[in-house]
Every structure is written in structure tokens, then in C-alpha cells.
Amino acid sequence: MSRVYNFSAGPAVLPEEVLKQAADEMMDYRGSGMSVMEMSHRSKVYDDIIKTAEQDLRDLMGIPNNYKVLFLQGGASQQFAAVPMNLMKNKRAGYIITGQWAKKAYQEAKIYGDAVELASSADKTFSYIPDVSDLPITDDMDYVYICENNTIYGTKYKTLPNTKGKDLVSDVSSCFLSEPVDVTKYGVIYGGVQKNIGPAGVVISIIREDLIRDDVLAGTPTMLKWKTQADNDSLYNTPPCYGIYICGLVFGWIKRMGGLSGMKAHNERKAAVIYEFLDKSELFKGTVVKEDRSLMNVPFVTGDEELDKKFVAEATAAGFVNLKGHRTVGGMRASIYNAMPIEGVEKLVQFMEDFEKNNK
Ligand SMILES: *Cc1c(COP(=O)(O)O)cnc(C)c1O
């Protein structure tokens, strides 16, 4: 067996401990005589899996009792529609455009109502987070929407927007469980799990109870109505059973790693290694303003497309894979999610130093 250092933006690296545990439990899950993939989602044994996963997530994030935790399908992209369908009472909401995922959510919301652009960083290829201290939020807005960590561009909000009393909806797909969070500051926190928590196919939405209601937009499909899912503890229909099980194993791993404060320390150490190198390198440059840098996604360039290509090819051959940047930014991007070990980042930086020496 030979494992690479996988810097993919998603689906992404998972903790080896979790993969091994899943392998051990594959043929016979804890004496049930079957794999988790093969069991009824209505069985006692599966009920324990999903309930334990939810409780562990509640413990990790300190989720208050007046918030529901939903395990859903359809990717984060389906929540782009579910958010306005469930929340647009006045058919008006504010969106902050900090990258492609925020923009897609904004465009989707326009199908259902009046989505208003409150601020944007499109003028500089989304390389910063705009000033969000005094936005043109109007009284009739149902919510304010952000993408908290911008996977493609490598920016992260360090302070949440002043929403002037409106509920904040946040897509945390690429920073889920990467550091402690105050859930009470949000109306809705949601994300696809394939970046930082588990296999593609599961979305977790954490929603304050009063935002889960019957009077959703006319025409909202039963499956996209949060109330349907909340009333049935995410078991209205067959959930993505196996994916939820893996998420549960990852929650257990994060607990053993010291919870979210442990994760934050681990992620800050890794990010410091790569950003400190980028700041002193004469070849590689980070593309994001320093104060808005993400701990999870680190885009960088050499300034020469041919050299970028050569770097990606040589890195791949050396076992550092999926470093090619998104096509709208070019260059490279190292995604260093929770499960990326510190050695992976240290060895990558060593490889970058050597590449720099050899390509002067
Ligand atoms: C990957 C990603 C998405 C899209 O997720 P899907 O599960 O593929 O729909 C949305 N938002 C952010 C921030 C992402 O990183």
C-alpha cells in the first residue's frame, strides 16, 4: 500500500485512522453480521450510528438545543435553492459575493426572489474579503448570506458581517470543524462534507428552530423543505447511511484530537509552515491578502504558467498530488484540511524549496 499526500480541494483527504476503522468494520459492523451499507436505516443499530454522530457533532460545535442538525443529500449546491425556498418570506435577501460558490448561491436565489448583492470582491479576482461592517442591508431582507471560506480563492472571513439584526446563513463547506465556532451567531450553518468531514453525498445543515417552518415558498419540494427533514430526524427517506457513518467516525477522531480547539491549533501550525515559506520565497507567491488568508486552502503562483505546470508535474511524480489551481486563478492550490498531517505540509514546503533552488 502506498498513500500519497493528497492536496485535493474536495473530495479530499480523510484521517487514516478513520479509513482503517471503516475497513475493519466493513464486513461485520460490531457483531451485526453486515456492513453499514447493507443495514436498514430503520434498524436499532443504524439508529445508534446516526444519533451518536449527531450528539458528537453537537458536543464538538457546542450546538444549542434550539438548533436542529439535519443530515441531507444533494450537495451544498442543493442548499443554494433550499435556503431561499425555506427562508424567503419577503422574497428578498442580501448576498456577499466572495467567490464562485457565493456567486452560484446568489444566482440560484435569484430564481426564487430578489437576491441583492451587498458587497463583492470580484474586482480583484476574489483575493480578499470586502469590508462587511456597514452593508446596505434593508429591513425587508429575510437573511444575509455568506460563503465563509472560499475554497477556490483561499480567503476566509475573520470577522462575521454586521447583519444589522438579520439572520446569517453561512456555507462552511470548506472550513467545517476546522476551528471553534459560536453557533448562536448564525441562523443557518451548512456545508457539504466532502471537504473536511467525510465522503461526498452528505450535507449537514444546522438550523435555528424558528427558521424551520411550514410557510415555505409555494412549490418547494417536500424533500427540500427543512421541516420535513427536521420532523423525521433526517430519516424521512433513506439517508446517505454509509456517508453519515463515516462522518461519525471523523467526529470521533476530532474529539480524540482535542476537539475544535485542538483542530485549530493543528491547522494553524500547518498553515504557518506554508505561508511563512510563501512570504520569504522569491519564486512562489500567495495570491490572497494576508489578513484574509484561509487555514484550509492555500493558492499560490510562480508568475510563469510554464513553470507552474512543471511544478505540478514534478510534485505529482514526487507524491504530492492534486496541487493544480482552479482554472479561474491558475497556478497551484494546496488544500490542507483537518486530515492533512503536519508532515504532509512540511514535506511539500521542502519540495518547494528544492524546486526553487533548481529553477533559479
Ligand atoms: C465544494 C463547495 C460547494 C459545492 O459542493 P457540492 O457538494 O459539490 O454541491 C459549495 N460551497 C463551497 C464553499 C464548496 O467548497
CATH number at residue 48: 3.40.640.10
Assigned domain for 12 exists: no
User: How much is the pLDDT for 328?
Assistant: 83
Assigned domain for 22 exists: no
Nine cell digits for residue 179? 476551528
Assigned domain for 193 exists: yes
Ligand 1 atom with the smallest distance to the CA of 99 is: 13
User: How much is the pLDDT for 1?
Assistant: 74
Ligand 1 atom with the smallest distance to the CA of 194 is: 7
Whether 46 and 162 share a structural domain: yes
Ligand 1 centroid vs 32 CA: distance in angstroms?
Answer: 34
Assigned domain for 55 exists: yes
Whether 47 and 115 share a structural domain: yes
Whether 270 and 219 share a structural domain: no
Query: To test the ligand 1 pocket, which listed residue (77, 150, 224) has its Cβ within 8 A of the most ligand atoms?
Result: 77
CB-CB neighbours of 217 under 10 Å = 17
The protein residue whose alpha carbon is closest to atom 5 in ligand 1 is 76
Alpha-carbon torsion 178, 197, 105, 93, what sign?
negative
Q: Which residue has the cell 471553534?
A: 180
Element (H, E) at 69: strand 67-72
Whether 269 and 211 share a structural domain: no
The protein residue whose alpha carbon is closest to atom 13 in ligand 1 is 173
Contact 147, 171 (CB under 8 A): yes
Q: Choosing from 56, 167, 171, 308, which is the catalytic residue?
A: 171
Assigned domain for 317 exists: yes
Contact 82, 226 (CB under 8 A): yes
Whether 139 and 277 share a structural domain: no
Strand 320-321 versus strand 5-6 pairing type: parallel
Assigned domain for 21 exists: no
Q: Which of 198, 221, 256 is the last residue of a domain?
A: 256
Whether 181 and 271 share a structural domain: no
Q: Going from the first residue of the chain to its last (360 residues), give the mean pLDDT of each consecutive group of 10, the final group possibly shorter.
A: 94 98 98 98 98 98 98 98 98 98 98 98 97 98 98 98 98 98 98 97 98 97 98 98 98 98 98 98 97 98 96 98 92 98 98 96
For the domain that residue 311 is a member of, what is the CATH number? Answer: 3.90.1150.10
Q: Judge whether 101 counts as a catalytic residue.
A: yes
Ligand 1 centroid vs 39 CA: distance in angstroms?
Answer: 29
Strand pairing partners for 94?
Answer: 116, 144
Whether 137 and 276 share a structural domain: no
Whether 74 and 186 share a structural domain: yes
Assigned domain for 78 exists: yes
Crossing angle of helices 259-280 and 241-256, rounded to 10°:
80
244 three-state secondary structure = helix
Ligand 1 centroid vs 28 CA: distance in angstroms?
Answer: 33
126-161 in b/e form (b: 16+ CB < 10 A) is bbbbbebeebebeeebbbbbbbbbbbbbbbbbeeeb
Ligand 1 atom with the smallest distance to the CA of 76 is: 9
Q: Which of 241, 256, 271 is the last residue of a domain?
A: 256
Ligand 1 site, CB within 6 A: 10, 75-77, 101, 147, 151, 171, 173-174, 192, 195
Whether 218 and 299 share a structural domain: no
User: How much is the pLDDT for 360?
Assistant: 84
Q: Which of 256, 281, 306 is the last residue of a domain?
A: 256
Can you count the helices (H) and strands (E) in the chain? Answer: 9, 14
292 three-state secondary structure = helix
Ligand 1 centroid vs 77 CA: distance in angstroms?
Answer: 6
Whether 169 and 230 share a structural domain: yes
- Output the pTM of the full model: 0.98
Angle at 79 between CA 78 and CA 85, to 5 degrees: 105
Alpha-carbon torsion 192, 194, 200, 202, what sign?
negative
How many domains in the chain?
2
Q: What's the CA gap between 24 and 37, in Å, rounded?
A: 14
* Residues of the domain holding 266: 258-358
User: How much is the pLDDT for 2?
Assistant: 87
The protein residue whose alpha carbon is closest to atom 2 in ligand 1 is 173
Whether 316 and 202 share a structural domain: no
DSSP string, 118-159: EEE-GGGTT-SPPP-SS----TT---EEEESEETTTTEE-SS
Whether 159 and 308 share a structural domain: no
Q: Judge whether 253 counts as a catalytic residue.
A: no
Q: What are phi and psi of 334, to 5 degrees?
A: -105, 115
Assigned domain for 293 exists: yes
